[in-house]
Every structure is written in structure tokens, then in C-alpha cells.
Structure 1
Amino acid sequence: MFKSKIRTNKLLQSLGILLILSCSTFAQERTWKTFSPDNGAWSILAPGIMKPDSEALESPSTKGSYSYNNSNGFFAVIYRDSPRRYVPWKPNYKAYYKKIRDDFVKAAKGQLLKDEEFSNGNWRGREIHIKIPSGRMTGRESQVNTTYRVERFRMFFHGKRFYLLLVVLPEDEINTPAIDNYLDSFVAK
């Protein structure tokens, strides 16, 4: 009877520790704050402080990226100025978007899930979802299952500047309201 009480006590202690650890995991959700680069060219509601690449630090910067990543996901704002055009006709944005999409699918060795037009206030462009393999997991009965992430990005022009807003997360998190808010919150000055 005494051994039974000790085992029950240890079981309850173990369950208590697991409960505390699981609660702390929920408490580690992203802290969303407005982020803007030093030059104030744009702002976005980001899950953390976005770090610039070396091209974004140049002055004046005509291309670059700002990104944030943690163990669960990757968020980025990528931009590039278009070269000056001396032709009278309008640029073919559809062909440009298609090339970017195809390059992403090929580079990630992924599967195109969605390609649709989007508009958000002043922005009109394309939103793309690409399913990419991210690893393998051994399931029940030693079955090996591939795990996937989804690259979700929006691309559009603001004047002569091309923007690409990118999120890479597990499949079950990519279409949440928080991610919609991240993409919808972008403002270019």
C-alpha cells in the first residue's frame, strides 16, 4: 500500500510538471508589434524585431529584406526597386508574378497549392501558397511520414518598388487570423 501511494504521488507530480510546461508553451505565443525600418519606408505588424540583410542596410537601399524567425516559422518583407524603363508600354506584371511564383516552387521543390489575385486597400497583386516538405516523422507502427510547411506570400508593386511579404509555417498555422493580420497590416509610405 505504501508503494502504491509513492507511485501515485510521483504520477501526480509528473502530471503537474507536464501541466505547468504545457501552460508555459501556450504563454510563448508570438508578441505582435508594429515594425518599421529606420528609414520609415514601410511598416508591418510583426511577431518580433525584424533583422535587415546587408543590402537593406545600404544607403540608399534599392533592394533588401527584413526577416524574423524562430523555431516555428519565418517572416520576411523583401523589396526591390524596378529599373527605369524607357519604353512607352506598361510592364507585364502578370508575367513577372508568374516567374517569381515558378522560381519559388522550383527552389523549394514544392507543390503549388494556391495562386490567386488579392487586393488590400491600395495593393493589388498575387497571393501564393506553396507546400514544401520540411522533414520526416516516424509515426505509429514505424511508418515514416513526411511533414510539410507552407510558404505563403503576397507580391505587389508600390510605384516602382516590388514588395514580397513572406510567411513560412506549419500547414495548420498558415491560414490563421494572426497571419492574415500580418499580411494585411503592411503599409508603404
Structure 2
Amino acid sequence: MAAIAAEADRAWERTLAEWGAAPGTPAERDLAALVADAPDRFEWRVVDAALDLLACPDCGAPLGSGERGCGPCDLADGNRYAAREVDRPAVAPRNEHAVRVAWTVARHPHRYGPRAVCGMELSLPEVYAGRMPTTAQAQAYRRLIDGLTDAQVESVASLDELLRLAARR
């Protein structure tokens, strides 16, 4: 999580420099609003950084991160997926999408079900490292997560631990 957050920060710093906006100024806030309004023009880390700088006009949370049912947050959260996804070198095609989805769910767990959050949190280190599960592997992990108790869903910390828990059943 920290590595991806640092990448988002660096992407935002580059975008500020490209647009001639200084951090903490009205120009930065205007740029963040522009990015939020046209996410398809920017890389996803830039969009996420911009959303973090904007407060939702309804709930006050960073835009796109409020509780489900908050209109502006729901819209911004959905629109974030229009942003550009450029796969990193030496990773499987569509890996960047997997990283983005897992990152978003892990950052805003209150917007998703606990089992989805568990799966995304467990898979994030693997997909960030460039390893994509096959469809069969992902479905198998999902079945294993579905077999966990609620307490286990909240506490399982790795795919290895998930496999150990499943073997005990």
C-alpha cells in the first residue's frame, strides 16, 4: 500500500509540475477538479491523488471515498475507472487494472463487502509484484474466502494463511 501511495504522490507531483501548479494553492485545487471531471485524460494514480484532494460536497469525505449512497462519492468512485491504465514494464497485460481495483478496495473497505475486501487485500501484494492469478486460481481463492468465518475474514493476512485455514476445515 505504501509503495502505491508513494507512486500516486509522485504522479501528482509530476502533474502539478506539468500544469504549472504549486502544492497547496488554489491552482492545485482547480487542477484536482479538472482531473476529477475528466479522468479519461489522466493516469489512474493521478486521478486517485486528485480525488484525495477534493472534499465531497455532500459528506465531506475525500471525493469518491464516502459511504455508499453518497451521490457525488458514488459518481466519482465509478468515474475513477475511466482513467488510463498503463501496464508497468515486465508485468502481464491488464495487471495495472488488477492493481488499481485491489488498491481502491483496500483503501476504501467500507464501500465493499468484507469478503471482497479480504480477497483484494490478499491479492494486492501478488498483483503488484506482477503476478496475475489465473481465472481458476482467483475462483479457488474466492471459494476459500467464502468458507471462512467472519472473524477469519477480518484477520487472515496472507494467501498462505488462507490456504492453511482452508486445509484445517
Tell me which interval the TM-score lies in, with the shorter structure as reference length.
under 0.3
Query: TM-score scaled to structure 2, two decimals?
Result: 0.24
Greater relative CO (CA pairs within 8 A, separation 6+): 1
TM-score of the aligned structures, taking structure 1 as reference length:
0.23
Q: Which has the higher helix share?
A: 2
